[in-house]
Structure 1
Amino acid sequence: MDIWEKLYNEAKVLYNPHEVSPFVYAEHVVCALEAEDGQIYTGYCFEATCGVFHLCAERAAAFNMYQQSKQTKIKRIIAFRDEAPSGVGGMPCGACREFLMQLNIENAATEVMVDYTKRETITLNELMPNWWGTTRV
């Protein structure tokens, strides 16, 4: 089993889309990431209609990583809905991309799974060319 299969399996068990209330929907996007030290952290999407609270799976996993280990560097990340990324989706949204870059500038090298079957990845740096924050570090 390669690291991507391990990440996929860790995230897949969290997939359980449901309404928490008439205003909150959860667990419809899942994520697993590999931290710098090789530990795996997971998270799932939790969104509310109020607009103030919307936590994507990628940010939830990164928050769990930091909360549990104080790590900020991510080697690999996979996110998906009901099936593994297949070249169309699976990449972090703009807010998640920005957060991951702000968490640690070295996350520019993070591998993001694009197509699970082909093991095709892209780096966060490729998703965020000319990132504005490099002038602040």
Structure 2
Amino acid sequence: MDIWEKLYQEAKALYNPHEVSPFIYAEHVVCALEAGDGQIYTGYCFEATAGVFHLCAERAAAFNMYQQSKQTKINRIITFRDEAPAAVGGMPCGACREFLMQLDQENAETAFMVDYQKREIVTLKELLPKWWGADRYDAAP
């Protein structure tokens, strides 16, 4: 079993779309990521109509990773709804792209699964080729 299959299986186990309340929908998008040390962390989308509390699966998994291990580097991410990503699936939203870049500059190399069957990936730096914050990393002690 390759790492992408492991990530897929870990995320798939979380898929359980349901309404938490008339205002909150959860577990309809799932994610598994491989941290810099090879450990796998998962998360799911938690979507509230208030808007201020909308947590994407990718950010939830990254938060779980940091909370449990204090790691910030992510090697790979797979995200999907009811089936594995295909064609242009698995793309992170803008907020997730930005958060992952801010979490660790090495996350520019994070691979996102775009097409699971073909094992096609895209890196975060390909999605954000001229990211605004690179100078801030360069200036940091």
Q: TM exceeds 0.5?
A: yes
Question: What is the CA RMSD across the aligned residues, in angstroms?
Answer: 0.4
Partner Cα separation in structure 1 for residue 85 and residue 43 of structure 2? 16
Q: CA deviation at 1:48?
A: 0.4
Matched to 2:89, the amino acid is: G
Partner Cα separation in structure 2 for residue 22 and residue 37 of structure 1? 39
Give the aligned partner of residue 74 of structure 1.
74
Aligned length: 137
Q: Secondary structure at the match of 1:66?
A: helix
Partner Cα separation in structure 2 for residue 94 and residue 133 of structure 1? 14
| TM-score, length basis structure 2 | 0.96
Give the aligned partner of residue 101 of structure 1.
101
Give the aligned partner of residue 28 of structure 1.
28
* Identity, % of aligned positions: 83
Give the aligned partner of residue 46 of structure 2.
46
User: Bigger shift: 113-122 or 84-93?
Assistant: 84-93
Partner Cα separation in structure 2 for residue 133 and residue 15 of structure 1? 34
Q: Which runs of 5+ in 2 are unaligned?
A: none
Q: CA deviation at 1:88?
A: 2.6
Q: Secondary structure at the match of 1:51?
A: coil
Q: Which runs of 5+ in 1 are unaligned?
A: none
Equivalences for 1:9-24 in 2 at 5 Å? 9-24=9-24
| TM-score, length basis structure 1 | 0.99
Matched to 2:88, the amino acid is: V
